[in-house]
């Protein structure tokens, strides 16, 4: 026989197990609903989502650093037959990375689950790759200028699998070496774009269009970009993803600026929060837009930054001592966690 407390509060005990790997909540009608993680879907999160995991990092050995505060923004897009499904952005400070000290970037994209896409994904296609991942890299300068750096294009050879991992190293070359190739010698992108050789495919090129233009050769202007993004940003039509019907433009923001239309500024480094002449870097973490990190050039500076806190507290011994001895407790605290190098 069930205990009374379990019978009377049954819904509190079954709710955590109602949704597979998801979160169960009650709506206003007292109906249980499931919030599923991206890797699951269904009324009770009972189905796996077909997805691709992307792991990458930048190889900057041949890249010339033009300034301590220069940022490389990498726009990662997941495409189906040149139709953008989804996108992800990450930022890298070349001055903070070395050949042996770099940050791996990990992201994942979900395959569409409409009947049409499921049918195309399960059909026999005799080696045709429908999906691919493209990386577009931009230099961001303090002057608010945005300079295209390079493009990489990788097809997904096993898009029929429910889960697949794409692991690539993106080698960034010096800007003046990207354009030296016969594919771009005829200026196929016209006046509204910059021709870039696809770095991992020397026989291919890609047109990085100016703000508001799109098309294979940047031949079309999208009126939706008129005033949509801030003046210093790049408006990229049809980059909003399949959820928006690929009609919502995407704004590529300059350094220190964020938001859907690049009208919000991150100026936390303007107050020079780093002590001992440390260099402040905005981390561009969308989950914590106020986050920043401090970098120091020498071990001596780091040693001087260690904050040592002494807390003294006198405790009377519970038993009387002949010499009236007191116990002195000293706590040493090193604020190492506040220092990143």
Higher per-residue pLDDT: 169 or 337:
169
Residues of the chain with CATH 2.10.25.10: 4-47
> What is the CATH class of 4-47?
mainly beta
- Look over the chain and give the mean of its residue pLDDT values, rounded to a whole number: 79
pLDDT at 268: 81
Confidence band for 234, pLDDT divided at 50, 70 and 90 = very high
**220-221 vs 213-214, strand pairing mode:** antiparallel
**51-59 vs 163-171, strand pairing mode:** parallel
Confidence band for 341, pLDDT divided at 50, 70 and 90 = very low
Distances in whole angstroms, Cα of residue 300 to Cα of each of 15, 191, 303, 340? 55, 52, 5, 14
pLDDT at 302: 45
If you search the block for the tokens 């294979």, which residue do you land on? 216
> CA-to-CA distance for 296 and 280, rounded, in angstroms?
9
Residue 323 above 70 pLDDT? no
Give tens-digit pLDDT for 184-223.
888 889 899 999 889 998 788 999 999 999 999 999 999 9
283, 291 Cβ separation under 8 angstroms = yes
Residue 334 above 50 pLDDT? no
Residue 307 above 60 pLDDT? no
Give tens-digit pLDDT for 5-60.
444 555 556 677 889 889 988 888 888 899 998 889 999 999 988 999 999 999 98
User: CA 216, 220, 225, 227 torsion: positive or negative?
Assistant: positive
pLDDT at 34: 92
């Amino acid at each position: 026989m069930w205990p009374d407390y379990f019978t009377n509060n049954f819904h509190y005990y079954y709710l955590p197990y109602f949704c597979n790997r998801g979160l169960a909540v009650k709506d206003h009608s007292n109906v249980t609903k499931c919030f599923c993680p991206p890797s699951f879907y269904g009324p009770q999160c009972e189905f796996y989502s077909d997805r691709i995991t992307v792991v990458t990092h930048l190889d900057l050995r041949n890249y010339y650093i033009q300034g301590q505060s220069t940022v490389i923004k990498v726009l990662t897009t997941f495409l189906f037959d040149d139709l953008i499904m989804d996108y992800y952005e990450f930022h890298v400070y070349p001055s903070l990375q070395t050949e042996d000290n770099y940050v791996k970037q990990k992201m994942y994209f979900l395959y569409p689950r409409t009947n049409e896409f499921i049918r195309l994904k399960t059909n026999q296609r005799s080696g045709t790759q429908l999906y691919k991942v493209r990386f577009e890299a931009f230099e961001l300068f303090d002057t608010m200028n945005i300079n295209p750096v390079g493009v990489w294009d990788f097809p997904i050879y096993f898009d029929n699998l429910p889960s697949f991992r794409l692991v690539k190293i993106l080698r960034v070359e010096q800007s003046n070496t990207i354009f030296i190739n016969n594919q771009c010698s005829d200026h196929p992108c016209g006046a509204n774009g910059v021709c870039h050789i696809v770095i991992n495919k020397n026989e291919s090129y890609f047109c990085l269009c100016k703000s508001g233009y799109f098309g294979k050769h940047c031949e079309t202007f999208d009126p939706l970009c008129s005033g949509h993004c801030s003046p210093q940003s790049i408006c990229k039509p049809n980059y909003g993803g399949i959820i928006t019907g690929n009609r919502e433009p995407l704004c590529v923001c300059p350094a220190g600026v964020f938001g859907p239309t690049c009208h919000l500024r991150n100026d936390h480094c303007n107050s020079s929060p780093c002590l001992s002449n440390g260099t402040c870097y905005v981390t561009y973490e969308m989950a914590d837009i106020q986050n920043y990190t401090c970098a120091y050039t020498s071990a001596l500076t780091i040693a001087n930054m260690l904050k040592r806190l002494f807390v003294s507290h006198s405790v009377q011994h519970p038993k009387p001592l002949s010499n009236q001895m007191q116990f002195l407790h000293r706590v040493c605290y090193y604020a190492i966690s506040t220092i990143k190098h």
